[in-house]
Amino acid sequence: MLKALLLENLHPQARSILETAGFDVTTRTGALDEAELIEALDGVHLLGIRSKTHVTAEVLAAAPSLVAIGAYCIGTNQIDLAEAAARGVAAFNAPFSNTRSVVEIAIADIISLTRRQTELDRAMHDGIWNKSATGAHEIRGRTLGIIGYGNIGTQLSVLAENLGMSVVFYDTAEKLALGNARRMSTLDELLETADIVTLHVDGRSGNAGLFGAKQFARMRPGAVFLNLSRGFVVDYAALRDAIVAGHVAGAAVDVFPVEPKRKGDPFESELRGLPNVILTPHTGGSTEEAQEAIGQFVSNKVRDYLATGSTTLSVNVPNLALEQQPGVHRLAYLHRNVPGVLAAVNATLAEHGVNIEGQLLATRGELGYVVTDAGARVDPAVVEALSTRPESVRLRLLS
């Protein structure tokens, strides 16, 4: 029986789908550190995580049974994707499922900061009645600057326009502007234009330290700042200085360079206690709706990969869309992308009298993936011959 380990309090749908597919599923509520994870992965074929558990090269080397990793979130920078691919471990994430949840919390933060709701709320809880319009503004007519115009940035752009905002955006890649949004040619141009600046960049290493003292100084006086993307892209000490100096009027932060691994662990940040600052514990995509959708999406993807070899939307191996064909025996062969592999596979099959019913090949960088459907049961000698070839990464016989 295939074994699955699901960490970090995934939605019950994640477990239900896998158990229905015949997996023996173990769940844990918190993240695991490297040593704990290595121990827990003994005999495990499928690992499900969110953002706190890091799957390093050392973890992968110590987990020879591991076949697939499901990242039940958008980001995958917590996984050594190259090493996983080199060991024949396919990784899948949920690039779209919590987009709406992140967009909605961004809108809520923008309105709350612009109306200074945090300060009014704190005063009321302290028993102080301070009815005043000073420093409170409508968002209608104000300019939203979106840094990172991907799935979240584009949907935020549309909703912000519907609320009467003007939208400008900056992205290093060429992107189609939606509605009346305007592309800025430089980051500085966006910062000098926007009343609200919000980050929605991905977790690539090149984005580390993207936003610091220089960028905060470029922002318009009295602008507000949001980071709902990655903690390591912002210098939070510089943000604190900008808020204390009054240059930045408020901020909403959902992600941090170092985050507690488990619920209830202590949290420290230089942003604690600052006026008009909203701090949330990496919950931008954590709605019940989003977590259910993510649980379904990722569990279906990893289930299908284990059952049929389909790698659609895998983030680290060649993509092939496959369905299970009745009456055939499938060989799924991950290999190094060198010339002559397909010819060698077919020659080996021919030598052992295996008739090919269908075959698909895809490549991705240094990795290739060929899936072959045979009309009769494949002899173990075929598996041995292919598995021991010098370019072989992982061969699975699926039926």
Cα–Cα distance measured from residue 68 to residue 90, given in angstroms and rounded to the nearest whole number: 5
Burial of 192 (0-12, 13-18, 19+ CB in 10 A): middle
What are the residue numbers of the active site? 230, 259, 282
State CA 177 to chain mean position distance: 23
Residue 281 is given by DSSP the state: S
Residue 206 is given by DSSP the state: G
With vertex at residue 80, the alpha carbon angle to CA 315 and CA 317, rounded to the nearest 5 degrees, is 30
Beginning with the edge strand found earlier in the chain, give each strand of the sheet holding 329-336 in spatial order: 356-364, 367-374, 329-336, 392-397
Contact 3, 43 (CB under 8 A): yes
Cα–Cα distance measured from residue 154 to residue 177, given in angstroms and rounded to the nearest whole number: 8
Tokens 């599923």 found at: 25
What's the Cα-to-Cα distance from 228 to each of 130, 244, 382, rounded to whole Å? 30, 21, 50
Count of CB atoms within 10 A of residue 387's CB? 14
Name the residue among 362, 305, 366 with its Cα closest to residue 82.
Answer: 366
Strand partners, 53: none
Burial of 316 (0-12, 13-18, 19+ CB in 10 A): buried
Contact 84, 60 (CB under 8 A): yes
Single-letter code of the amino acid located at 95: P
**What tokens appear for 222 in the block?**
């009295």
- Alpha helix positions (H), the chain: 12-20, 34-40, 57-61, 81-86, 99-114, 117-125, 151-162, 187-193, 213-218, 236-244, 288-308, 341-351, 380-387
Contact 372, 382 (CB under 8 A): no
**What tokens appear for 272 in the block?**
């604690």
Backbone CA torsion sign across 34, 202, 204, 305 = positive
Main-chain phi, psi angles of 394, to 5 degrees: -160, 135
